[in-house]
Amino acid sequence: MNVSVVIPLLNEEESLQELYDWIVSVMQSNQFLYEIIFIDDGSTDNSWNVIESIAQKNTATKGIRFQKNYGKAQALDAGFELASGDVVITMDADLQDSPDEIPELYRLITQEKYDLISGWKKKRYDSFFAKNLPSKLFNWAARKTSGLTLHDFNCGLKAYKNDVVKNIKVQGEMHRYIPVLAKNEGFKKIGEKVVQHQARKYGHTKFGMNRFINGFLDLITISFLSKFGKRPMHFFGLWGTFMFIFGFGLTAYLGGVKLYNLSQKIKTILITDNPWFYIALTCMILGTQLFLAGFIGELLIKSRDNTKHYKIKEKRNL
């Protein structure tokens, strides 16, 4: 199979049929063997019924329905697991991503041998202060932290080599950082393509300003995980050892000064009356706790399983 199109959605009943017709037109005109995978992330409207209706006319359509709204990352993870195409394309269901971009994205993966191509909505039809400005700040921070020179990390329109989606784990709110996850798994040839951004035709955006706050928090998380996720002891153990040695050394110094003063009959205060003693004691306690945190982190990594963080209500080769 040439292409798998993975489409996460939430309450997009108005746009689904139009999006489906558009995708099929592109696939047929390019003679692609394809599948379309809709992931209904707990919609409360008629979205699932529309997907079932579409699937009755086309066996290449597959659907996954979540028990409730788990988030875009979990929806993409479920779609990636099901996708079997040589190239996997992701796009949003709101018609703001153009299926006409698919042939060129496919060419870049298959002929130019890219592992991942991320869309860049260079010209956006969104409010400048509500979305464009925060997006620019967010993407600037992501570039500085990750080392990837992408302009639009959060663009829903992306293309992947199948090996990429089978080797990354998307959870929490990490869908914004899939290129970073891919890089951390050893996929180095990551590029971007300027894509057309269309104004929303139906409904309204599902994301508020809180997504940018969450985005920056996730950026800190993934930056830490990319460096120390496999070996937490390298971070916690290092700082824990440093703080314990500092506290122990300071305590030894205070004890030595106390003994010297006693031997010279120099009047001196009790060690417990010296504020530096409590600083040293705090450092040793914190150092021990950090070291234990690193040790527990190593144990968790060794024993963790692949438990899903979502519950599928229905899954059909529709």
- For residue 184, name the pLDDT band (cuts at 50, 70, 90): confident
Quote the pLDDT of residue 194: 94
216: amino acid identity, one letter: F
C-alpha R_g of the chain = 26
Beta strands in the chain (DSSP E): 3-9, 34-40, 61-66, 87-90, 116-120, 158-161, 190-194, 312-316
114 by DSSP, 3-state: which? coil
71 token code pair = 């988030």
Per-residue pLDDT at 38 exceeds 60: yes
Quick one: average pLDDT of 187-212? 76
DSSP tag of 97: B
Which residues are registered as beta bridge partners of 65?
A: 40, 314
Quick one: average pLDDT of 147-151? 87
Quick one: average pLDDT of 31-37? 96
User: Which is the CATH superfamily of the domain at 3-228?
Assistant: Spore Coat Polysaccharide Biosynthesis Protein SpsA; Chain A (3.90.550.10)
Condensed to tens digits (0 to 9), the pLDDT of residues 42-96 reads 999 999 999 999 999 888 999 999 999 999 999 999 999 999 999 999 999 999 9
Average pLDDT, the chain: 86
